[in-house]
Amino acid sequence: MMGSMAGLEDIEQPRRHGSATAARWSPAVEDEHALKALELFGNPTDAEVPLPSRPESAAIARRLAQVVVLRHWGLSPKLTEDAVLLTSELVGNAVRHTGARVFGLRMMRRRGWIRIEVRDPSRGLPCLMPVHELDVSGRGLFLVDKLSDRWGVDLLPRGKTTWFEMRVADR
């Protein structure tokens, strides 16, 4: 499956310059990190990208979604922001609730739509729970339901694929 995650040190850690202060966020630094993630893990538009089922993989998946949606597909920053957030939610669910060692990330675009999928080996179905104002967790699928145009789960012989789709304006 996945070997070492060598090369991620500078992706996961804020860069330090001179003093002990971390570099401020900037689109250029974020692009650099996203391109590095693409180089290390592969392009989820070409084939499913396997990622280790660890919390830090959510950051990798967010960066892959960002570089694909914003740079490769040339879609709007707002759509990119929503797609990145929803990708992170699906990955978080796969990491927290499936017991998987690895999950897969896949991204597709067809006329008028984008689709992002997270595949894991569990056949346990995610549940859309009611969300209350003071809840500190459990908002993931609520957000997916609110921000995507449609979403669902496809059961597989071994596991499932959880996905969402968003409408896009084709130029």
pLDDT tens for each residue of 90-115: 999 999 988 889 999 999 999 999 99
pLDDT of residue 16: 41
Average pLDDT of the chain is 83
Class level of CATH domain 25-167 = alpha beta
**What's the predicted TM-score (pTM) here?**
0.79
- Give 85's contacts (C-beta < 8 A, 6+ positions apart): 143, 147
pLDDT tens for each residue of 12-26: 444 344 444 444 545
Q: Backbone phi, then psi, for 63, in 5-degree steps?
A: -65, -40
- Burial environment of residue 94 by CB neighbours within 10 A (0 to 12, 13 to 18, 19 or more): buried
pLDDT of residue 6: 45
pLDDT of residue 97: 86
CA distance 121 to 73: 29
Give the residue with greater pLDDT, 52 vs 136: 52
pLDDT tens for each residue of 134-155: 655 556 788 899 999 999 999 9
pLDDT of residue 134: 63
Domain definitions of the chain by residue range: 25-167
